[in-house]
Structure 1
């Protein structure tokens, strides 16, 4: 499939080179069986995300996702940082691991 400069895909039509009559005669059926059961098909898939609007929407969606991830990171880190060392020990956590835990909760949760 080729994609011209305007961002839309070119429609592709592929047909078998068997001459057919309708209704199919016995010779047509034999010819189809001899050459294989190749049928005609039409491919009309368009290239998504190739126009400026789609790219701009993807950029804004990516920015919104990053903002949500950063908000989750900050909330998690601030919440864990507010705990005392004793509370962290009760949870089985160390203060040196708080950034890693916050990063995992924010960035792995959205994937």
Structure 2
């Protein structure tokens, strides 16, 4: 059973080494094994930056939604003849408004 656990631990340490918050301590003594520990220190500035980023993403999402609703409302007010002049059909209005606000889907 010991081999199974040490194999899992070794695999775990190898995967952890790719994480920037993990520091790996290696010893050259054959009686001591490799040890890894995780550090995740955040300062108040980093927390504030995350909160500010969240607020900015919410503001951007709200602005895009308002553009979508305004565009859709204005297009829905057009007559069938005006839509035909623009090369649009009523079934296309939501797609056009979405592309206007959020860009083309890939």
**TM-score under structure 2 normalisation?**
0.58
For the aligned residue pairs, the C-alpha RMSD in angstroms reads 2.2
Q: Which structure shows the bigger proportion of residues in helix conformation? A: 2
For each residue in 1:2-30, what CA deviation from the matched residue of structure 2 results, as whole angstroms up to 9, or x when unmatched? 5442237xxxxxxxxxxxxxxxxxxxxxx
Q: Does 1:6 align with 2:41?
A: yes
1:93 corresponds in structure 2 to: 88
Matches within 5 A, 1:1-111: 2-3=20-21, 4-7=39-42, 51-108=46-103
| Structure with the greater alpha carbon radius of gyration | 1
Separation of aligned partners in 2, 1:99 and 1:80: 9
Structure 1 unpaired stretches of 5+: 9-49
Whose relative contact order is higher, 1 or 2, with alpha carbons under 8 Å and at least 6 apart?
1
Separation of aligned partners in 1, 2:86 and 2:20: 57
Q: What SS does the corresponding residue of 2:60 show, helix, strand or coil?
A: helix
**TM-score under structure 1 normalisation?**
0.55
Separation of aligned partners in 2, 1:99 and 1:5: 45
Runs of 4+ in 1 over 3 A off after TM superposition: 1-4
Structure 2 unpaired stretches of 5+: 1-18, 22-38
